[in-house]
Amino acid sequence: MKPYIIRRPIITEKTLQLANLQNVYVFEVERLANKKEVKEAVEDIFQVHVSTVNTVMHHSGKKSTGRKRLKVVTAKTKKVMVKLKAGEKIALFDVTGGQTKA
Question: Which CATH number goes with the domain that contains 28?
Answer: 3.30.70.330
* DSSP symbols for the chain: --TTSEEEE---HHHHHHHHHH-EEEEEE-TT--HHHHHHHHHHHH---EEEEEEEEE---EEEETTTTEEEEPPPEEEEEEEEPTT---GGG--STT----
Residue 98 domain flag: no
Residue 1 domain flag: no
What mean pLDDT is predicted for residues 94-99? Answer: 61
Residue 102 domain flag: no
Domain count, the chain: 1
pLDDT at 1 over 90: no
Per the structure, the complete domain to which residue 50 belongs is given by 6-88
Tell me what pLDDT residue 102 has: 46
Q: Give per-residue pLDDT as tens, 31-86.
A: 999 999 999 999 999 999 999 999 999 888 888 888 888 888 888 999 999 999 99
